């Protein structure tokens, strides 16, 4: 069996990173837009 663990681990790290970064960016944008709603809660 070939040892290609590097690509396997990198693939999982990259995919997870993309999902996590997108979720963080969504929360940041949400908070920025919410700050423009005076007197309104979520």
DSSP-based helix, strand, coil % in the chain, nearest 5: 70, 0, 30
8-37 residues in contact with other proteins (CB under 8 A) are 8, 10-12, 14-16, 18-19, 22-23, 26-27, 29-31, 33-34, 36-37
Alpha helices in the chain (DSSP H): 5-34
Least separation in angstroms between CB 25 and other proteins? 10
User: Is residue 12 a contact partner of residue 4, using CB atoms and an 8 Å limit?
Assistant: no
Q: Rounded distance, CA 27 to CA 42, Å?
A: 13
Least separation in angstroms between CB 38 and other proteins? 9
Under the rule (CB under 8 A), what is the footprint of other proteins?
1-5, 7-8, 10-12, 14-16, 18-19, 22-23, 26-27, 29-31, 33-34, 36-37, 40, 42
């Amino acid at each position: 069996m070939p040892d290609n663990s590097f690509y396997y681990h990198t693939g999982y790290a990259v995919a997870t990173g993309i999902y996590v970064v997108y979720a963080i960016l969504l929360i940041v944008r949400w908070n920025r837009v919410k700050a423009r709603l005076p007197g309104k809660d979520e």
